Structures are given as structure tokens and as C-alpha cells.
């Protein structure tokens, strides 16, 4: 049986919304994206959410993330990104500047990955109170 064109489009729309619902269920934490004195496309917002969600590969105890995008007042007009993530009894943060927001986000995520690995090593150390 053939579906009408309208029914096919409706089914495709349902599939994409189902995909976003599944992705939201997989992410255990909320990511808030804030822009300061700059207009940023939805694509960059989504990129920031996706990159911070990948930090969960390194430590699954992340409870929240906040991404702040802005620009420098320097003559080069660099784009800045600041990412704060909350873990058990601690807040990890990284701030960087680059020629684009995507590059700045990547640099911040790299810094946070290293911080998460160090935090996780402290949690696993024999001294159980090392992280407090």
C-alpha cells in the first residue's frame, strides 16, 4: 500500500522528533547555552550541546552543564567560550578564545576532558576523601 506524500512527510517529522526524544533520554544532564552580546546560530547552540554531551564518555556523574558564548573586546574580535560542568560536590570550568565559537568550544571541551580524568582518578584513589 502506498502512502500519500503528506503521510510520508508526517511520518518523517515523527521520526525526527522521536530521535530528539531518544537523544534527550540518553543525556543524563541538562546543558544550558547562554550568549553574551553576540548573536549565534542554532547550529552553534546544537554544536555546544553535542560537544558537552560527549564529555559523559569520560565521566558519567555529570549533573549539569552551562555554556557561555561571547566575544572579546580585543582588536582581533576573538570568539570566547566558557563551559562550567557540575559533578559531585565540585564545579569544573574552562574558558578559551579562538577565531570561531566552534574552535573555542573544542578547546574548552579538551580542557574539561583532562579535568574530568584527573577528578575521576582522585575518586578511584585509595584515599576515599581525596575529592572532598
What CATH code is carried by the domain that includes residue 58? 3.30.160.100
Q: Which segments of 1-132 does DSSP mark as H helices, in order?
A: 5-26, 42-53, 101-124
Q: What angle do CA 64, 65, 67 make, to 5 degrees?
A: 160
Q: Does position 17 have pLDDT exceeding 60, yes or no? A: no
- Answer yes or no: is pLDDT of 112 > 70: yes
Q: What is the pTM of this model?
A: 0.74
Above 50 in pLDDT, residue 120?
yes
Q: Return the pLDDT at 49.
A: 95
In a domain, 52, yes or no: yes
The overall average pLDDT reported for the chain is 82
DSSP-derived pairing of the beta strands 90-98 and 30-35: unpaired
What is the domain count for the chain? 1
Structural domain for 45, as ranges: 29-124
Answer for the pair 32, 66: CB distance below 8 angstroms, yes or no: yes
At residue 25, does pLDDT exceed 50? no
50 found inside a domain: yes
pLDDT at residue 9, as a whole number: 46
33, part of any domain:
yes
- Let me know if residue 129 belongs to a domain: no
Amino acid at each position: 500500500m502506498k502512502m500519500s506524500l503528506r503521510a510520508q512527510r508526517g511520518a518523517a517529522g515523527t521520526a525526527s522528533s522521536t530521535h530528539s526524544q531518544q537523544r534527550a533520554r540518553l543525556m543524563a544532564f541538562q546543558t544550558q547555552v547562554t550568549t553574551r552580546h553576540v548573536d549565534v546560530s542554532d547550529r552553534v547552540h546544537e554544536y555546544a550541546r553535542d560537544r558537552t554531551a560527549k564529555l559523559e564518555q569520560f565521566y558519567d556523574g555529570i549533573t549539569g552543564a552551562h555554556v557561555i558564548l561571547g566575544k572579546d573586546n580585543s582588536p582581533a574580535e576573538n570568539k570566547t567560550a566558557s563551559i562550567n560542568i557540575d559533578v559531585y560536590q565540585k564545579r569544573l570550568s574552562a574558558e578559551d578564545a579562538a577565531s570561531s565559537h566552534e574552535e573555542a568550544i573544542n578547546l574548552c571541551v579538551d580542557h574539561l576532558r583532562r579535568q574530568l580524568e584527573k577528578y575521576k582518578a582522585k575518586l578511584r584513589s585509595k584515599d576515599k576523601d581525596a575529592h572532598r
